[in-house]
Structure 1
Amino acid sequence: MSPTRVHLIRHGESTWNRDGLVQGAHRGPGQSVLTDAGRAEAARAGLALGALLGPPRAEHAMALWTSDLMRALQTAEIISVALRPAGWHASVRNEAGLREQALGTLEGERSDSLRAQTVPAGEHISEVRWGGGESMQDVFERVGDWFAPALIEQPDHLVVISHEHTIRAALAWLRSRSHRDIDWDEPIPPGSMTSCDVVD
């Protein structure tokens, strides 16, 4: 059985990245959108993806799955356009389950104004709902609920445009680790692509 190669792409630089604000899953007025630098990063990610995939087989179309947050949707649309010279015609499908970790009252705060908080006794840091939002365990379970059926069809390539914390949780799930084993050291900068093989 051939593996599915999953390509996880982080959205390009956003206005809130640039301004040092905590993003999370905010979707209301004034939500984060791509900067010019972020648009360029998204285009480069599309070109890199096209080079990695090579020419498409005639019978295969591609779906770009993306978070429904604006910065990810914009990245997916730019990648879709960048793939065309390589012969890929990709449709963009958005999914709420691929959103960034919700961080409740912390969203919109300046990152440099946050102060370290003590993890409650008896809890693991990945199980704390900071700001009243989601814990990383919540995100891990959410992305697992999305990936499990998405992988059943065993596509050759599954392309997902999402967010840093969501990608970290997805990588742990795809590598059969637990939410307590999320890798925080692996670099996942804006516009980056991380690929891994998944065998059912």
Structure 2
Amino acid sequence: MQLTRILAIRHGETAWNRDTRIQGHIDIPLNERGLWQARRAAEALRDEPIAAVYSSDLARAHTTAQAIAAARGLPVHTHAGLRERHFGRFEGKTWNEIETGWPDEALAWRKRVPDFAPEGGENLLTLRERIANTVHELAARHPGEQVVMVAHGGVLDVLYRLATGQDIQAPRTWTLDNAGINRLLWTPEGLSLVGWADIGHLQDDADAPLDESTT
């Protein structure tokens, strides 16, 4: 069977993650803790066979991917299809600011209304289609191999739902940790889940890893 193993990794932490501020397509760099997390992820994967490293073109994901790729002399291939969801006018705002400024929109967001998009942003149906198409495109290049894909909380959330058959509106019961390692199998028929939320390489961090799906 034609299959590709995927190591799906969320970027390391940023200052805006700490502030619960929505990043979306705004290009925020890793903070010091995020850089440390990226190095630890690279170390955790040092013995893994990796054919290619793919990343969102946003700096927080690309820097994380560079740490992993550099450890084995590989280039990072960027793909805009791995970007975070576009949150339109929500971007740059904290969750509290959104709930105060646009309470009706905040409720639609919290309820995961599939066709809801913040003004100028992307709805969940469009996001799911984008991620599914991107992962299919990239994984199909590597039959019988393993690849790394470094992306964002919203992207990882979609991958989990696709791999487990979870509805787009189902409440999230899984974590989306910064620099967590998640394992999937791809075949032309779709994704399946192998392992999720491995953060053993981060256990000596004094702070618990952040878990947000929106940044």
Show the counterpart of 1:170: 159
**What residue in structure 2 maps to residue 19 of structure 1?**
19
Q: Which structure 2 residues correspond to residues 116-195 of structure 1 after superposition, within 5 A?
A: 116-117=103-104, 118-119=107-108, 125-153=113-141, 154-173=143-162, 175=163, 177=165, 180=168, 184-195=172-183
Q: Percent identity of the aligned residues?
A: 26
Counterpart amino acid of 2:39? A
- Partners of 2:168 and 2:15 lie apart in 1 by 30
2:31 corresponding residue in structure 1: 35
Instruction: Work out whether 1:45 is the aligned partner of 2:41.
Output: yes
Quick one: structure 1 residues 77 and 182, their matched pair in 2 at CA, closer, same or farther if it must change by over 3 Å?
farther
TM-score, with normalisation over the residues of structure 1? 0.80
- Once the two structures are superposed, residues 31-75 of structure 1 have per-residue CA deviations (whole angstroms, 9 ceiling, x without a partner) of 310000000011111111224x1xx4xxxx732100000111111
Q: Structure 1's 182 and 24: CA in aligned 2 closer, same or farther, altered over 3 A?
A: farther
Q: Work out the CA distance in 2 between the residues paired with 1:195 and 1:23.
A: 25
5+ residue gaps, structure 2, are: 189-215
TM-score of the two chains, using structure 2 as the length reference: 0.75
- State whether residues 103 and 129 of structure 1, in contact with CA within 8 Å, keep that contact through their aligned partners in structure 2: yes
Counterpart check, 1:80 vs 2:69: yes
- Root-mean-square deviation (CA), in Å? 2.4
Unaligned runs of 5+ in 1: none
Rounded Cα–Cα distance in structure 2 between residues aligned with 1:198 and 1:187: 21
Please state which structure has a larger fraction of its residues in helix. Answer: 1
| Number of the residue aligned with 2:199 | none
1:15 Cα deviation from its structure 2 partner = 2.0
